[in-house]
Amino acid sequence: MGIEIVTLAERPDLHSAIWDMPSGWPPFMLEDPVARLMGRLHTLFPELQFAALDADEVVGYVHAASFAWDGDRASLPDRGWDAIMLQAFRDRDHGNEPTAVTLLEATVRPDRRGGGLSNALLVGVRDRCRELGYGALFGPVRPTHKSLEPTTPMAEYIARVRPDGLPEDPWLRVHTRLGAQIVRIAAASMTIGGSLAQWRGWTGLPFDRTGDVIVPGALVPVHASVEHDHAVYVEPNVWMMHEL
């Protein structure tokens, strides 16, 4: 049997299996203040929390949320992930009619990565969003191999394509092969600030010099200031759009 995509609205019993799966994000990213809202997704948007099942075992998940898109791609926020997450919660609180869905996180269980599962996951999520009547699925996408070259500007990184015309980055490639388009870069998609002591705790790195610090898993360097005793990470993502 193939991969089956179900939602937490249909299978609330899968809540722990999803939340207990290790996220692919480096731990410091969970210190993004907006990311605290992730814990409320299953109550506010249960129909958009997806699990990929293989013989009733959860092998991947997608967190998503709906928002009231005005139909203009140019209105997608520069503050990508943080801004769209806040908008989704605001729209739901105010009863604004949602018209589009944004992906927030996609993860395949570590032992199942590299086996083509992400494709089935995204196709399933797209189908379900279409069935719910949405016209577009967006994502402030985190290119998976960008962390291997944090000093490369995102614009230069995403311009790299293979001879077949598909992006060199594997995760951008999965989306593109499914017909998604790159809209533009969300230059300040997630902003994570903290004291140097906090950054030491989050990363295990010394944070004892002023300047750029390379942190494993970060897509760009973290800016540190010893004088001001703080460091800030501003993650760029790539707005992608799947028309449904």
Ligand X SMILES: CC(C)(COP(=O)(O)OP(=O)(O)OC[C@H]1O[C@@H](n2cnc3c(N)ncnc32)[C@H](O)[C@@H]1OP(=O)(O)O)[C@@H](O)C(=O)NCCC(=O)NCCS
Does position 170 interact with ligand X (CB under 6 A)? The reply is yes
Pick the binder of ligand X from 61, 171, 199, 207 (CB under 6 A). 171
Determine the residue with CB nearest ligand X.
Answer: 24
CB of 98 to ligand X, least distance (A): 21
CB of 121 to ligand X, least distance (A): 7
Does position 107 interact with ligand X (CB under 6 A)? The reply is yes
Cβ closest to ligand X, residue 174 vs residue 240: 174
Does position 21 interact with ligand X (CB under 6 A)? The reply is no
Cβ closest to ligand X, residue 108 vs residue 222: 108
What is the DSSP track for 129-160?
Answer: HHHTT-SEEEEEE--TTGGGSTTS-HHHHHT-
**Which of these segments, 126-134, 167-175, 195-203, 228-236, binds ligand X (CB under 6 A)?**
167-175
Pick the binder of ligand X from 73, 92, 173, 184 (CB under 6 A). 173
Does position 108 interact with ligand X (CB under 6 A)? The reply is yes
Does position 182 interact with ligand X (CB under 6 A)? The reply is no
CB of 229 to ligand X, least distance (A): 31
Question: How many CA atoms does the CB half-sphere of 154 hold within 13 Å?
Answer: 22
Residue 214, Cα to own-chain centre: how many angstroms? 21
What is the DSSP track for the chain?
Answer: ---EEEETTT-GGGHHHHHTSPPSS-GGGGGSGGGGGGGGHHHH-GGGEEEEEETTEEEEEEEEEEE---S-GGGS-TTHHHHHHHHHHHHHHHTPPP-EEEEEEEEE-GGGTTSSHHHHHHHHHHHHHHHTT-SEEEEEE--TTGGGSTTS-HHHHHT-B-TTSSBSSHHHHHHHHTT-EEEEEEEEEEEEEEEHHHHHHHH-----SSEEE--TT-SSPEEEETTTTEEEEEEEEEEEEEE-
**Which of these segments, 99-107, 146-154, 203-211, 223-231, binds ligand X (CB under 6 A)?**
99-107
Q: Considering only residues 113-132, where is the footprint of ligand X by CB under 6 A?
A: 113-119
Cβ closest to ligand X, residue 125 vs residue 196: 125
**Which of these segments, 47-55, 65-73, 104-112, 183-191, binds ligand X (CB under 6 A)?**
104-112
CB of 99 to ligand X, least distance (A): 23
**Contact footprint for ligand X (CB under 6 A):** 24, 105-108, 113-119, 142, 144, 170-171, 173-174
